[in-house]
A and B are shown apart, each in its own frame.
Chain A
Amino acid sequence: MTPHERIFNTINREPVDRVPIDIWHTAEVLDSLKQYAGEDDTLELYRKLGIDKIVWLLPDYQDKRPGATEDEGHDTWGVPTRRIHSGQATYHEFGKGPLSDYEEIEELDEYAYWPDPDKFDYAAVKKSAERARQFNFPTLGPWMSHFEIYCHMRGMENALMDVIAEPEFLDAALDRIENIQTAILERYIKEFGDQLDIVFLADDMGTQESQLMSIPAYERHLKPRLKRWCDLSHAHGKKVLFHTDGAARNFVPHLIEAGIDILNPIQHVCPGMECDALNEDFGGQVVFHGGIENQKVLPFGTVDDVRKETLACLETLGANGGYIPCSCHNIQAGNPVENIIAMIDTVKEYEPANA
C-alpha cells in the first residue's frame, strides 16, 4: 500500500497492510534524520525511512513588512517575532501582541495588518502538493486556528482574561480571525482540489494539568466557529484533523459534535487523556493521531522505553483500528535518533493480536 492508502484506510477504518506511522519534528530533528539516513531530500527521506508522512501544505505570506531580519520580524498576523536559541533548539518567541492595548471593538477595524487572503503564495503550495502526490503522501493544510491566533495578537494573559471580562471584544476579534482564514481555506479548496486531503484546525484547549477555559466559554466563543470550518471542509470532501495539546478530555465530545474526523496529538500523560479510557469512550467516533510520549520517553528514555511506549499506544489507542501513531507533537532538538528509529520500527513491525 502507498502511504496515502494506508493513512486513508485507517481513517476510513478499512484494512491496512500495516499500521501507518507519521512523524512531527523540529528542523533540528529533520537535520539529524537526514544525516542518519544520508538523504538530503525531505520527502525522499520519509520514503526511505518508511514514514507515512502527512505532508504539510503551508502558505508563505508575500506581503512582508519591511525591516525584517533573519532573527526578528512579524508573523502573518502582524505579531512581532524573535528567534530564540535555547540549548540545541531554536524557535520563535512572540513579542507584544499588536492588539494588547485595544479597548474598543471599533479599534479592530483600524488595525493595519490583518492578512489579505489573496496575498499568500498559493503557487508554491501547489508545487508542494504536486510533489507530495508523486510520493503518494497525503497532504494537510492550511494551518488554521481561532483562539491561538487571538492569543498571539492580544497577548496570552489578556486573551485568557477576555474570556471572562471582555467577551464581546473577544467575539469581534474572532469574527475577523475566522473570516480571513475561511477565505484562505476556500482558496485552498479551489486551487488544490483533490491534492488537498486533510484540513488542519488547531486550538489548544488543555494545559498540562487541566482545561484552558471552561466548557461554557468554549461553547460560546469557539465551538460554533469550529463547526463552520468542519462543515466547509466536509462539503468539499476533506477530512478534518483537529489539534489540541494537554488535558482536553472534557472538550472531546464537543469537538466530535462540531465534526472533527481526527484528533491530535493525544497527550496521554495529562489527567483524563489516558489512552485506554479515551479509546473506550471515543474510539468509535474519532480517529486518533499522535500519542507517542514526547516530553519524557522520546527525548530521555531508552530504546526499550520507546518500544514499550509505542506498543502501549498501539494496543490502546489502536485497539479497534482508527489510530495513526506519531510523536505527540514535534520531536524536539537533541532527541536521540535511535529513539526515533525505534518508534518507527516498532510500528512497522507491529502485528495486531486480532489480525
Chain B
Amino acid sequence: MNESLNQLTTAIKAGKRKDARAATAAALEAGLPPQSVLDALTEGMNDVGVRFKANTIFVPEVLVAARAMQKSMDLLEPVLIASGIEPEFSIVIGTVEGDLHDIGKNLVMMMLKGANFKVIDLGVNVSAEAFANAVAEHKPDLVALSALLTTTMPAMESIVCDLSRIEPPIKIIVGGAPITPDFADQIGADGYSADAASAVELAQKLCANAQ
C-alpha cells in the first residue's frame, strides 16, 4: 500500500485533521486512484467505529476522527464526482419534530459518511411532511429518525406511521437515548440501534438485504 494512503488511515484513526488533509493531497497528487484514497479513509473510520463500539474510545475521539475525515473529503469529493464514483447507498436522517437535539444524530451521520453512505441531513425538528418530501426527492435506501426527549417519542411514532404509507415502501430506523428495541417494534420501525457504530451496521444490513 502506498505510504500516503497509510498516513491517511493513521491520521483518521488519530483524528489529526492537518495530517489527513496533507496525506489526501499527497495521494491525489501522486495520481493514486480516487477509490483507493476513499478506501484508506473508510478503513480509518471503520477502525474508529470498532473501537467506539468496544468502549476503548469515546465521543471526543470519534468527533476528531470525523473532523479529520471531513478535511480529507473536502479534497477527495470533487475527484470522486469527476470520476463518477458515487456512494452505493443513501440515507435521509433527521431529529423528529419538537426535538432540537442533534449530537447523537450527527454522530450517526459522521459514521455513515465514514462507511461511504450518501447522507441527506434534514437537521432537527423535522416534520413527517419534510421527511416524506425528502424521500420523494432523494429516493434514499433508508430513513433514520432520532429523538432525545421522552416528550417527543410520540412525534417519532406518528412520523413512522406517516412514512409507512409511502409507496414504494421505505425502510425506517430509529434511535436516541429514550428509545428501546421494544418501542421501535411497537411503532413499526424496521430497525433500532443503541449507538452510532451499530447504526452503521444496521444500515448496511438493511441495504444489503434490500438488494
Q: Which A positions have Cβ atoms within 8 angstroms of B?
A: 84, 86-89, 93, 156-157, 160-161, 163-165, 207-214, 217, 295-296, 299-300, 332-334
What is the CA–CA distance of A86 and B148 in the complex, to the nearest angstrom? 12
Q: Which of the 9-residue segments B60-68, B75-83, B165-173 touches chain A?
A: B60-68
Q: Which residues of A contact B100 (CB under 8 A)?
A: 84, 86, 93
Name 18 extra pairs, CB < 8 A, besides A87-B155, A213-B58.
A87-B152, A93-B100, A157-B106, A160-B63, A161-B60, A163-B60, A164-B63, A164-B64, A165-B15, A208-B194, A212-B58, A213-B60, A214-B61, A295-B150, A295-B177, A332-B150, A333-B151, A334-B151
Chain B interface category by residue count: 20 to 34
Interface presence of B85 (CB below 8 A): no
B93 to chain A, nearest CB (A): 16
- CB nearest to B63 among chain A residues: A161
B19 to chain A, nearest CB (A): 12
Q: Which residues of A contact B67 (CB under 8 A)?
A: 161
What is the CA–CA distance of A210 and B51 in the complex, to the nearest angstrom? 12
Interface presence of B149 (CB below 8 A): yes
What is the CA–CA distance of A334 and B155 in the complex, to the nearest angstrom? 14
A303 to chain B, nearest CB (A): 18
Interface presence of B136 (CB below 8 A): no
Interface presence of B161 (CB below 8 A): no
Interface presence of B130 (CB below 8 A): no
- CB nearest to B59 among chain A residues: A160
Q: Which residues of A contact B157 (CB under 8 A)?
A: none
The 4 closest A-B pairs by CB, nearest first: A87-B151, A208-B177, A163-B60, A160-B60
Interface presence of B87 (CB below 8 A): no
- CB nearest to A334 among chain B residues: B151
Q: Which residues of A contact B133 (CB under 8 A)?
A: none
Interface presence of B188 (CB below 8 A): no
Q: Which residues of A contact B98 (CB under 8 A)?
A: 86-87
What is the CA–CA distance of A157 and B104 in the complex, to the nearest angstrom? 11
B160-211 residues at the A interface, CB under 8 angstroms: 177-178, 180, 194-195
Let me know if B63 and A295 touch, CB within 8 A. Answer: no
